[in-house]
Structure 1
Amino acid sequence: MMERAMEQLNVQLNRLTRSLRRARTVELPEDNETAVYTLMPMVMADQHRSVSELLLNSKFDVNYAFGRVKRSLLHIAANCGSVECLILLLKRGANPNYQDISGCTPLHLAARNGQKKCMGRLLEYNADVNICNNEGLTAIHWLAVNGRTELLHDLVQHVTNVDVEDAMGQTALHVACQNGHKTTVLCLLDSGADINRPNVSGATPLYFACSHGQRDTAQILLSRGAKYLPDKNGTTPLDLCVQGGYGETCEILIQHHGRLFQSLIQMTQNDDFKENMLRQVLEYVSQQNESHYQRMLTGLAEVATTNGHKLLSLSSNYEAQMKSLLRIVRIFCHVFRLGPTSPNNGNDMGYNGNKTPRSQVFKVRKVYDVVKKDVNAGKEMSFTKHANTTLTTPEQEPLELLWHSLDEWMVLIATELEKNRRDPASGATNITSILLKQREADSNSSPALGENGLHSTAAKSDSQGQLIPDTILENQEAYADGEDVISMTASRLSAVIQAFYMCCSCQMPPGMTSPRFIEFVCRHDEVLKCFVTRNPKIIFNHFHFLLECPELMSRFMHIIKAQPFKDRCDWFYEHLHAGQPDSDMVHRPVNENDILLVHRESIFRSSCEVVSKSSNEKLKQGIAVRFHGEEGMGQGVVREWFDILSNEIINPDYALFTQSADGTTFQPNSNSSVNPDHLNYFRFAGQILGLALYHRQLVNIYFTRSFYKHILGIPVNYQDVASIDPEYAKNLQWILDNDISDLGLELTFSVETDVFGAMEEVPLKPGGISILVTQNNKAEYVQLVTELRMTRAIQPQINAFLQGFHTFILPSLVQLFDEYELELLLSGMPEIDVSDWNKNTEYTSGYDVDEPVIKWFWDVVESLTQEERILLLQFVTGSSRVPHGGFAFLMGGSGMQKFTIAAVPYTSNLLPTSSTCINMLKLPEYPSKEVLKDRLLVALHCGSYGYTMA
């Protein structure tokens, strides 16, 4: 019974086996095109048994090339590493050297993908390792590209020429060096690769290593004797390292070729190299050891000095030489700051407390006896030397040579100014006459050069003993026409002064100005003021130090404020946005956390919360706002946010600001403490106005002149009282205009003021209640009353506001403007000029200025009220204000963007729409002016708030 059951089971298994075999066996199609696509997935999966059975009785051509690249199944097997199928195909006669349309053999593909077993089998069947593809690449090129060193060891034994070149003349060693495959490079070199072989452009393997910053590869090549060679264009390996910012590779080059250290420093004069890359490389090299650091400082100082003297040479190109000097000095200062410890107080001009004697670059040594004589007493200020001695120059620090030349120039010009002041009829400057006389005595005007190629500070004297710096003598020709010396030299000297300031500043703690530089400006105050009076652009181009040192700024403020408002605005924003990645301040949030999500119904409180939680640096980079429950985002929504917030700041519910007597401006409320959070809200209000100014957004609010003065740090006067109490201001004016000696007013230095409904007497100064106001002290009384009413009464509010405002706007920057200009910057022009609007409007999508619809539109705008025009402006731009300068300066989402009107096909009852990010009004082609006006007014009164993605 058991035997019978087993026999039946075997029969069933045999049937099942035959069934499965029949199911697996498929007849291969007779045509190669169809057959190859049947076999290909099996080859890719290395299903060699199935492939073998299909090929068993088939007439399929195993060398059949298919597809656009004309590859065989052997290519597929080699590419995928299907070694069993590869062996099967080779046994059936597949050609191991068959090339596809790109010239690649199966060996190329196996090498490219690191298929070691496939490579070994292909070599057994006589695959040719020396075949090149269409680009000249062999199998060893592919192994070198990918760093397959273990495979390369096997393959080079079959290679006849390890230096076989591709179409660009590149060998396997070139590409291995480029990709930084150290072991592959060593293998190729051990196999006889030419270490200095150039490609068609003259680039050697070392050149390739440096082009991609492959430090270790470069080290191997240099240690094996690689030559330092440029390509056919003269580009050197060092050039490539600097272009890429590869400091480590530069250091390797310098280790093997010490002369390159000086070459690296000289590159700072070449503006073909990006400054940030140069800084990166010099920073790394200088930090390798103390010697490198000191050599770097000294070398940069020497180059800066040479360039500075060239700049002072009037025959040089001012723009190019000025940019070169300032670039070198910026790099010098960057390297200088990398010292192991922080800068000291600047007293010894360079020594920073570590073992590195940085004072060798800066420390002042006596070169000349500078005799300052009292100019006001009628005596000259000049450099002198002893009559019986030869003028010599002791060993000096490089930059001091330049600063001494600068000082010589300044003293010489000061002397000339004094002479002209004494004798205005003298005409042309005496410097010109001196130079013309000197020209006869000294035909060779080239400057003396020191050991390092630096100009010496030696000077010559005229017949009267007046010392003339060499940099003047270089260019006697330039003075022959008697041109004003100051006009010719002011910009050049100012650029050197800027360099001097930068060098002084890099030795000081942040926020402090070097005492030495302050002393320099004070000493040459008259000459510097003469410079900027003649050419005010010097202030904005070179005197950046004024923004960083209030003591110096005060000396020049009257000159600065006399400059055009636009120039000061440009200077303001240039420094305000210094260091920010995008000058147009467009910022795209990287995640949802960067978006200020605010609630429209509680916009003040919700905005206060999100701003307080945001990073100030991110807010400076840009602002993205979204109203809760709304889709709209972009610059139009940002402008709307500022517009609504500015209205909320003056909302009486918050008791922050009170309306002034004129009914249109606002002043901090002295009783704002009824709101427990009033100081936090004042700080937030300051932040919003600071942000608006930072991003050139306008706010829909006007403050009193006195409050603008508080922002600017300008003292208020009694006339400012008129904005809050005109009658009181008249009384103060009367006191100043009349003799109060015998009037019996019995005023004291105290006033009664309302404090939460109760009158209190407040002294204007200590003991003021008992001090009578007299004819002699009435001016002081008026000023103190003014300060009490306008400042002391609201000092906490002012301080909180300024704390927020100064988060984004530095006091030193905003002081460039007066209170009227600050209002223009913050709030724009109060009136809308329709003709200016019309003149600065662009048209698109079929509209032009002569279209009937456009003419009707401007007729309608002319007929609108001022409030309706503001609504229209707000509807299209998101802001209700026009920037200073008019409609030509409207801002869009990516910079300046004029008001634009685009045509839209008309359908019944269609309203105008807008794209606030690009200041575009989409105006349908209405059939009549009446319809246009009706639809426009509906849109304005219903759609001035709330933006969507439509």
Structure 2
Amino acid sequence: MEFLQHLANSLRRARTVELPKEDQAAFYMLMSMVIANQHRSVADLLSTSKFDVNYTSHRSLLHIAANCGNYECCGLLLKKGADVNCQDMSGCTPLHLAARNGQRKCLNKLLEFKADVNIRNNEGLTTIHWLAVNGRTELLRDLFLYVKDVDVEDAQGQTALHVACQNGHKSTVFCLLDNGADIHRPNHYGWMPLHFACSHGQHDTANILLSRGAVFAPDRNNKTPLDLCVEGGYRETCDVLLKSMPTLFEQLIHMVRQDYVKENMLYRVLSFVCTSGSINADRILSSLSDEASAIGHKLLSVSSNVETQVSSLLRCVRILCQMYRSVYQSMPSSHMSHSMTMNGVSPVPPKASMIFKPLEQLWRLLEEWLILLKVEFQNSEVLKASKVEAARERRAFSDITPISGHKELQVQGKQLQVSFDNTSASSNSVGDQTGSVLKAEMLSGMETDLQIGPEEKDEGLYKKVKRLSMNQKDQDIIGATVPRICGVIQAFYMCCSCHMQIGITSPRFIEFVCRHNQVLKSLVGRNPQVIFEHFHFLLECPELMSQFLHIIKSQPFEARRQWFYENLRSDDKENELVHTPPDDRDIIVVNREQLFTTSCKEVLKSTPDKLKKGIALRFDGEEGMGQGVVREWFDVLSREILNPDYALFTQSADGCTFQPNSNSAINPDHLSYFRFAGQMLGLALYHRILLNVYFTRSFYKHILGIPVNYKDVASIDPEYAKNLQWILDHDISQLGLDLTFSVETDVFGVMQEVELKPGGCQIHVTEQNKHEYVQLVTELRMTHAIQPQIDSFLSGFHEFVLQPLVQMFNEYELELMLSGLPEIDLEDWKKNTVYNGYSLDSDVIKWFWEVVDQFTQQERVLLLQFATGSSRVPYGGFSKFSGSAGPQNFSISHVTYGQVLPTASTCINLLKLPEYRSKAELESRLMVALQCGSQGYAMT
């Protein structure tokens, strides 16, 4: 009988499984059924089991039913005695989960069984918060029948209205406000609902709040909703605030002074407001111009913080100029005035011509300051001369009188009493005292002593300078003024460039620099760092760069290198070597077997902008991609470019560097290949990839735009270079060489006569014109013979690196940037060095190697370049060095002490080292030679 009953029940239930006796096993069995909403099966199992429906494993079965929206299971469990307010491990009740997921039927069922709407989870969120977070407006209306406090707070003091505004749920915001939510309720940080809407760019909810009378007030950190909008770049929300409260306009403009506001975000907001129609574009741009003028005037006052004010001024001017271009220069030509179309000046709309008018006062003040600085520089020279004279007179006086006492000195026609004694005074201290007296006199009577003309006189400025010198204890007048002046000059340049076409320098600015050329060079001489901080216009103005290039090149290599990379990329975000393209068609696929030709084809068809952003590359038939693959490609390709099969480059005489092949035309595609080679070197430099490729000094000069000289000929023909050197070193007037300004050259095996200048075959080389002859011969062999190759190479190189950027380096530094520092084995160098007039035991030689042993790798490279003309050691080490006549070891030759600095003969790898009297003297003289040698020092 029992068997029949069991069989009937099994068939009726369509199963024979029963709940396990262990609660955990039973829970997991029931959980899967609850998730599947098999409420009848759950009911049957529970009816024949003693399982506790409140058993919890992180969550109860009621949590699971409410979370999934399974209404039948939810009601069944509640009838079986499930705890309606049970909290899971995160503190959430079943009501929380039903509200979060919008399970309306479950929510109502739970409320029917007295679910507590005020219970908070671990984050302090109640049911009303969950509904507001997810915009469950209909469920929120149902819940208001059970909610007594619509402004119940979470752990951070946030109400449902706060979170609804943050997430932009308009209908929920209306519902909460209609049911009495406090629109001015702050959280623990002082943020009201308007702050939440503005901090997340929810312009619709911000508009609702403002229409309901929301108060515009700062939080506890004094940040207003407008601050939060601008910080996030939420332009539509800013526009809503301005429409509601036009008085916020001034606050918006003043934000250019705030360092915490990102410039690109503020520009994003202002440009949108200009075009939205809420605020007239003329008003915004004019206000920015007024603001820039005010900042600039404050910068040139004596009480301002230099760093802060310079940063604010430049940020304001950049935004002003950028907006001017986008708003006015994009207008149709019919709305423009064509009164300023000469010299590349863009058409200017009538209203816009008045925008920059407030800044004209700042530019006039800048002119006055520069005139004043000119006077101060002149006075400094007078002070310097007076110090020298005072020191000379003191030494003469001390020879005939006791050291203590006083003496009257004549300085600038005035009697000055200068006291000194034997214990503390020196010629320098006398000069300093004299300088102090003179400075005091200069400040009190500058007009009389320095004979300032009427056009250079400004009493207000003199008072400013006097106060400035009194406030700056550690700096003189010029030192305190330099960063202020240079910041305003940079702003002036940006404003002048506003009206110019891209690539054309403003004639007004060029005229300004030429007018104050002497003062600007003096400023830079006093503080060369201002070039890198403010004189970015030099990189865009070849006319001006040439005037300051010698000062730039005298700065430390690392400072120039940093400036180079700062200005190499035009965008704010630094581009990566590798990027993931959105389309497989943007992936460069190269064939290992035909690496050069396939790479050339792929790179030439791509655009520089894409390659600057990053390189997505893989080898055909291989899956690997990423930085390692790209670096391998650069490494292998750099060696392949030198493959003689392509006839692009030929090995130089030293055996370790390469020069463009003058006969590369044997390859019909040689010019395209040279352009590709230029692109590869430019791209490598752009992405800071070091290449295993080394060129001759002359080729690096071609890249930099530096003229070659006869010494460069040694890289391709050492014997010919030696002959040129001989001509320069000897008087040829009586030798009967019968040379003319024409030479014979080999053109594909046929000797042809080439004139070095028009009519050259009729012009004889004399002692007077031999230098011109040597230079023209050098240019013919090193430049004209490979001019098409050089031009093609540079056309590719300059797609990634512009000429103004690289011209701040010399040929040695460019090689370091492209190929890095070579490893120099000092022991191998010592072992393969020969001595002329010295021996290994000589003191000078011992000191020399001790100094070199302490050198950095870069300093050793400089020494190698200075003595041999190459930064590279041939394959096989120093024993493989060659000279003009074949194998030639590195050698050090004795020179009498009368010669001050070391010199070198690079053709024979010879360092001429004077017999210095101490190691310290040798080290200092050697360092001077290394630093100056590449700049044309002596005859290396």
Q: Give yes or no for TM over 0.5.
A: yes
Determine whether 1:159 maps to 2:147: yes
Aligned position for 1:473: 463
Determine whether 1:231 maps to 2:219: yes
Aligned position for 1:45: 36
Aligned runs of 1:194-209 on 2, under 5 Å?
Answer: 194-209=182-197
Question: Take 1:531 and 1:767, find their aligned partners in 2: how far apart are those partners?
Answer: 48
Instruction: Judge conservation of contact 2:135–2:172 (CA < 8 Å) in 1.
Output: yes
> What SS does the aligned partner of 1:667 have?
strand
Aligned runs of 1:407-486 on 2, under 5 Å?
Answer: 407-418=367-378, 424-425=385-386, 426=412, 427=435, 433=441, 435-436=443-444, 467-468=457-458, 470=460, 473-474=463-464, 476-480=466-470, 484-486=476-478
Letter in 2 for 1:263: Q
> What SS does the aligned partner of 1:800 have?
helix
Question: Take 1:182 and 1:565, find their aligned partners in 2: how far apart are those partners?
Answer: 59
Determine whether 1:561 maps to 2:553: yes
Question: Take 2:683 and 2:162, find their aligned partners in 1: how far apart are those partners?
Answer: 54
Aligned position for 1:786: 778
| Residues 650 and 186 of structure 1, relative CA distance in 2, 3 Å threshold | same
Determine whether 1:361 maps to 2:348: no
Determine whether 1:280 maps to 2:301: no
Superposed CA deviations along residues 892-916 of structure 1, whole A, max 9, x for unmatched, are xxxxxxxxxxxxxxxxxxxxxxxxx
Determine whether 1:801 maps to 2:821: no
Question: Take 1:574 and 1:636, find their aligned partners in 2: how far apart are those partners?
Answer: 25
Superposed CA deviations along residues 631-653 of structure 1, whole A, max 9, x for unmatched, are 98876776665554444333332
Question: Take 1:171 and 1:483, find their aligned partners in 2: how far apart are those partners?
Answer: 57
Instruction: Judge conservation of contact 1:342–1:352 (CA < 8 Å) in 2.
Output: no
Aligned position for 1:447: none
Determine whether 1:575 maps to 2:578: no
Letter in 1 for 2:814: L
Aligned position for 1:681: 673
Question: Take 2:625 and 2:828, find their aligned partners in 1: how far apart are those partners?
Answer: 29
Determine whether 1:398 maps to 2:377: no
Determine whether 1:182 maps to 2:142: no
Aligned position for 1:241: 229
> What SS does the aligned partner of 2:176 have?
helix
Superposed CA deviations along residues 439-474 of structure 1, whole A, max 9, x for unmatched, are 9xxxxxxxxxxxxxxxxxxxxx99989633746634
Deviation at 1:718, TM superposition (A): 4.0
Letter in 2 for 1:579: D
> What SS does the aligned partner of 2:543 have?
helix
Instruction: Judge conservation of contact 1:102–1:134 (CA < 8 Å) in 2.
Output: yes
Instruction: Judge conservation of contact 1:195–1:226 (CA < 8 Å) in 2.
Output: yes
Instruction: Judge conservation of contact 2:340–2:347 (CA < 8 Å) in 1.
Output: no
Aligned position for 1:494: 486
Of 528-537 and 655-664, deviating more is: 655-664
| Residues 701 and 130 of structure 1, relative CA distance in 2, 3 Å threshold | closer
Of 340-349 and 97-106, deviating more is: 340-349
Letter in 2 for 1:282: L
Percent of residue pairs bearing the same amino acid type:
62
Question: Take 1:608 and 1:511, find their aligned partners in 2: how far apart are those partners?
Answer: 29
Deviation at 1:98, TM superposition (A): 4.9
Of 171-180 and 113-122, deviating more is: 113-122
| Residues 90 and 229 of structure 1, relative CA distance in 2, 3 Å threshold | same
Question: Take 2:343 and 2:146, find their aligned partners in 1: how far apart are those partners?
Answer: 67
> What SS does the aligned partner of 2:231 have?
helix
| Residues 835 and 578 of structure 1, relative CA distance in 2, 3 Å threshold | farther
Instruction: Judge conservation of contact 1:351–1:358 (CA < 8 Å) in 2.
Output: no
Aligned position for 1:339: 327
Of 497-506 and 694-703, deviating more is: 694-703
Letter in 1 for 2:353: S
Determine whether 1:546 maps to 2:542: no
Of 725-734 and 189-198, deviating more is: 725-734
Question: Take 1:126 and 1:342, find their aligned partners in 2: how far apart are those partners?
Answer: 65
Deviation at 1:336, TM superposition (A): 2.6
Aligned position for 1:295: 283
> What SS does the aligned partner of 2:752 have?
strand
Determine whether 1:85 maps to 2:85: no
- Which one of the candidate residues 669, 685, 695 is aligned to 1:693? 685
Deviation at 1:144, TM superposition (A): 0.9
Question: Take 1:578 and 1:540, find their aligned partners in 2: how far apart are those partners?
Answer: 16
Superposed CA deviations along residues 808-845 of structure 1, whole A, max 9, x for unmatched, are 221111111223333343344556145899xxxxxxxx
Letter in 1 for 2:38: Q
Of 217-226 and 315-324, deviating more is: 315-324
| Residues 257 and 438 of structure 1, relative CA distance in 2, 3 Å threshold | farther
Question: Take 2:210 and 2:93, find their aligned partners in 1: how far apart are those partners?
Answer: 35
- Which one of the candidate residues 709, 713, 721 is aligned to 1:721? 713
Question: Take 2:17 and 2:727, find their aligned partners in 1: how far apart are those partners?
Answer: 118
Question: Take 2:120 and 2:766, find their aligned partners in 1: how far apart are those partners?
Answer: 107
| Residues 836 and 56 of structure 1, relative CA distance in 2, 3 Å threshold | farther
Question: Take 1:210 and 1:118, find their aligned partners in 2: how far apart are those partners?
Answer: 34
Unaligned runs of 5+ in 2: 332-337, 387-411, 413-434, 830-852, 862-870, 874-940
Deviation at 1:185, TM superposition (A): 0.5
| Residues 32 and 695 of structure 1, relative CA distance in 2, 3 Å threshold | closer
Cα RMSD (Å): 4.1
Superposed CA deviations along residues 490-545 of structure 1, whole A, max 9, x for unmatched, are 22211221122222223322222211111111110000011111222222222111
> What SS does the aligned partner of 2:458 have?
strand
Instruction: Judge conservation of contact 1:265–1:299 (CA < 8 Å) in 2.
Output: yes
Determine whether 1:311 maps to 2:299: yes
Instruction: Judge conservation of contact 2:678–2:793 (CA < 8 Å) in 1.
Output: yes
Aligned position for 1:533: 525
Of 286-295 and 532-541, deviating more is: 286-295
Instruction: Judge conservation of contact 1:351–1:357 (CA < 8 Å) in 2.
Output: no
> What SS does the aligned partner of 2:327 have?
coil
Deviation at 1:123, TM superposition (A): 3.8
> What SS does the aligned partner of 1:761 have?
strand
Determine whether 1:66 maps to 2:56: yes
> What SS does the aligned partner of 1:511 have?
coil
Instruction: Judge conservation of contact 2:23–2:55 (CA < 8 Å) in 1.
Output: no
Question: Take 1:732 and 1:835, find their aligned partners in 2: how far apart are those partners?
Answer: 35
- Which one of the candidate residues 510, 530, 538 is aligned to 1:518? 510
Aligned runs of 1:695-844 on 2, under 5 Å?
Answer: 695-729=687-721, 749-769=741-761, 780-829=772-821, 832-834=824-826
Deviation at 1:74, TM superposition (A): 3.4
Unaligned runs of 5+ in 1: 1-13, 363-396, 440-460, 838-861, 871-879, 883-950
Deviation at 1:556, TM superposition (A): 1.1
Aligned position for 1:320: 308
| Residues 609 and 261 of structure 1, relative CA distance in 2, 3 Å threshold | same
Deviation at 1:715, TM superposition (A): 2.5
Instruction: Judge conservation of contact 1:46–1:84 (CA < 8 Å) in 2.
Output: yes
Instruction: Judge conservation of contact 2:243–2:278 (CA < 8 Å) in 1.
Output: no
> What SS does the aligned partner of 2:73 have?
helix
| Residues 509 and 342 of structure 1, relative CA distance in 2, 3 Å threshold | farther
> What's the TM-score, normalizing by structure 2?
0.73
Deviation at 1:338, TM superposition (A): 2.0
| Residues 409 and 835 of structure 1, relative CA distance in 2, 3 Å threshold | farther
| Residues 702 and 100 of structure 1, relative CA distance in 2, 3 Å threshold | closer
Question: Take 1:429 and 1:679, find their aligned partners in 2: how far apart are those partners?
Answer: 68
Instruction: Judge conservation of contact 1:685–1:804 (CA < 8 Å) in 2.
Output: yes
Superposed CA deviations along residues 689-738 of structure 1, whole A, max 9, x for unmatched, are 32333344444444333322221212234444344344544555666677
> What SS does the aligned partner of 1:759 have?
strand
| Residues 802 and 463 of structure 1, relative CA distance in 2, 3 Å threshold | closer
